[in-house]
Amino acid sequence: MKKIILLVVIVTIVALFFVSEKKEIKYGYVSNITIKLKDNNTILNIPLEDYIVGVVAGEVPATFDIEALKVQAIIARTYVLKRYNKSNNYDVENSVLNQVYISNSKMKEKWKEKYDV
């Protein structure tokens, strides 16, 4: 009986050690997905996270409430991932028919000194 009690105590202590160990929670997920964007007659390969930033910048004014920008990012991500790898040539077109994307250089040009990376 003493051996069983000792075993239960040891297992409990070991379990508590693993449960109480602090784990770092990392926010934000960066994928390794690359979006094929048809811009005029050119196919651009853009990392998903950069693409989402460009779509949010292209679709809604930066002056919108932060929550609206977050919702737009979710919508943009959902839309492009639904279309991801459905076609052999490209995933989305840079147009109002799909999603409007603007590059970092166009963001800098548009917002000038208000542009912030």
- Per residue in 13-26, pLDDT (tens digit) is 655 455 444 444 45
Residues of 38-66 as b/e, b for ≥16 C-beta within 10 angstroms?
beeeeebebebbebbbbbbbbbbeeeeee
Q: What percent of the chain is predicted at pLDDT more than 70?
A: 74
**Cβ atoms within 10 A of the Cβ of 91, count?**
25
For residue 14, the model assigns a pLDDT of 53
Q: What does pLDDT average to over the chain?
A: 81
Distance (Å) of CA 51 to CA 2, 64, 113: 63, 19, 22
Q: What percent of the chain is predicted at pLDDT more than 90?
A: 50
For residue 11, the model assigns a pLDDT of 54
For residue 94, the model assigns a pLDDT of 95
- Per residue in 27-80, pLDDT (tens digit) is 556 678 999 999 999 999 999 999 999 999 999 988 899 999 999 999 999 999
Residue 112 has pLDDT above 70, yes or no: yes
